[in-house]
Amino acid sequence: MTQSKSSAAYARLYLNDAFTYGLVLLGGLLVAAQLRLKVTAGAALGDSYAAQPPILALLVVVGAVVSVVAQLFLQSRTGRWGRFWAGVVGTGVLAASLLILTPEFSQLQVAYFALASVGIGVIILRLTPNRYPLSDSLHLLWRNRGLLALWVRYNVVSRYSQTFLGILWIVMLPVATSLILAFVFSYIFTARDIGDAPFITFFLSGMMYWTLFMQGVTNGTVSIVSKLGLINQIYFPREILVLVKLGEALVDFAFIFVVTLVINALVGVYPNFNYIYLPVLLLIQLVLMLGLMMLVGYLTVLVRDIQQLTAVFIQMMFYLTPIMYPVDILTENLAELVMFLNPMAALVNAYRDVMVYNRAPDFVSLYFPIVLAVVLCYSGYMFFKANERKLADFR
């Protein structure tokens, strides 16, 4: 419940703010790196890219600390805008030290960095009206992990225990769709240039992750609305409702993954050593999904139309994601735009690098999805927690 503001609570709040500033600055750096390199689809890590030196990580930490100190002095400017100016100070200090300490960064890139940082900072500040310690929320969530596991299990079991084919339905739908599309594209349309890989492998390597994304976000829109009755009667951390939907989607995904491995083996493609990258890629995708799901889940309660809008939006995103086609068939400018606007495009490309072409994913092309995922998830969660007690008023 409401807790009294002890010095420990204040310390946690400032730790929280330091984390926020660090996130903003790091995000700015990654976006700046990607903008300078103009990395397009699937390009392997080139010589032009030197690994970010550890000094950058140090600078980000220093910038975050400077921001918090600045915030202490700017406290009289009240809440939100005090945080904004504190962030600007931190960004400025970091930009200046970048110019002096790391000559490999051009001035233009430092300018990119500052712009991106301010942009990300404004987004985070807009979405987090109240300061609310993240550690408290996470602690409460951890205490309720039993409920989460229970809920996911019951939902998965009850969804499939009443149908004749049971758990098979989880895999039947995407696999059937894939087979039909694979047939259509292999025999009816002329084959795209996808290398030596069989089309079904090429297609499934994108489709399975897209199914996870689509299922999670689509169900995320109704996660809160469908439980408003319960929300009205008892308090529990509301994000559990969103996490339950994510958990269900993950369970389905696990089955589809196994079936995909079997299908791949049948056409002669076997798991390779680069599969060790898959958990990292999946983590990025899950963080992205969680941020989106919390936002659409909350907003659907306010405006019910969000549910339909999301469905249309996802349909559109499907065609902007290189699932049925390799990204190379797009013109260079279009490919760049698609990869930049659609975080799933870069992710699908990375999955495909691993599962079809047996090579390490291009992490530079993933900078933008990573920043987007973390910013969305963090600010989405803060927004969610700051407003969750208003949910019961929207019956």
Partner 1 sequence: MNPVITVENVSKRYRFQSYRPSLRQEFGQMVKRLVGKTDQVSWEEKPFWSLRNISFTLNAGDSLGIIGPNGAGKTTLLRLLSGIIEPTEGHIEVVGNFAPLIGLGAGFDHERTGRENIYLNAAIQGVPIPQIDRAMPDIIEFTELGEFIDRPVKIYSSGMVGRLGFAIASILTPDIVFLDEVFSVGDIGFQSKSMERILAFKERKTTLVFISHSLDAVQKLCARTLWLEHGQVQMDGPTDAVVAAYQTARAVREGM
For position 74 contacting partner 1 by CB under 8 A, the verdict is: no
- By C-beta, is 107 or 130 nearer to partner 1? 130
- By C-beta, is 183 or 236 nearer to partner 1? 236
Between residue 174 and residue 233, which ones bind partner 1 under the rule CB under 8 A? 229-233
Least separation in angstroms between CB 27 and partner 1: 31
- By C-beta, is 126 or 389 nearer to partner 1? 389
Q: 26: closest CA among 380, 373, 383, 384?
A: 373
Q: Which of 122, 150, 184, 266 binds partner 1 (CB under 8 A)?
A: 150
Least separation in angstroms between CB 312 and partner 1: 13
- Cα of 40 vs its chain's centroid, Å: 20
What is the number of other CB atoms lying within 10 angstroms of the CB of residue 320? 16
- Cα of 349 vs its chain's centroid, Å: 15
Q: 129: closest CA among 376, 384, 393, 372?
A: 384
Q: Which of 305, 316, 319, 332 binds partner 1 (CB under 8 A)?
A: 305
Q: Give the whole-angstrom CA distance, residue 45 versus residue 179.
A: 34
Place of tokens 């996490």: 243
- By C-beta, is 230 or 316 nearer to partner 1? 230
Q: How far is CA 187 from CA 123, 175, 179, in A?
A: 47, 18, 12
For position 103 contacting partner 1 by CB under 8 A, the verdict is: no
- Cα of 8 vs its chain's centroid, Å: 31
Q: Which of 15, 147, 261, 360 binds partner 1 (CB under 8 A)?
A: 147
Q: Give the whole-angstrom CA distance, residue 36 versus residue 59.
A: 20
Q: Give the whole-angstrom CA distance, residue 299 versus residue 276.
A: 36
Least separation in angstroms between CB 226 and partner 1: 11
Six-digit token pair at 141? 């969530």
| Region of 81-89, 151-159, 188-196, 332-340 interacting with partner 1 (CB under 8 A) | 151-159
Q: Which of 38, 80, 139, 389 binds partner 1 (CB under 8 A)?
A: 389
| Region of 8-16, 93-101, 115-123, 142-150 interacting with partner 1 (CB under 8 A) | 142-150
Using CB under 8 A, count the residues that bind partner 1: 31
- By C-beta, is 152 or 364 nearer to partner 1? 152
Between residue 1 and residue 60, which ones bind partner 1 under the rule CB under 8 A? 1-4
Q: Give the whole-angstrom CA distance, residue 200 versus residue 217.
A: 25
Residue 1, exposed/middle/buried by CB under 10 A (0-12, 13-18, 19+)? exposed
- By C-beta, is 305 or 332 nearer to partner 1? 305
- By C-beta, is 73 or 154 nearer to partner 1? 154
Q: Give the whole-angstrom CA distance, residue 227 versus residue 239.
A: 12
Least separation in angstroms between CB 286 and partner 1: 23
Q: Which of 303, 312, 331, 333 binds partner 1 (CB under 8 A)?
A: 303
Place of tokens 């950058």: 56
Q: Give the whole-angstrom CA distance, residue 376 versus residue 379.
A: 5
Residues that bind partner 1 (CB under 8 A): 1-4, 143-144, 146-147, 149-151, 154, 158, 229-236, 302-305, 389-390, 392-395
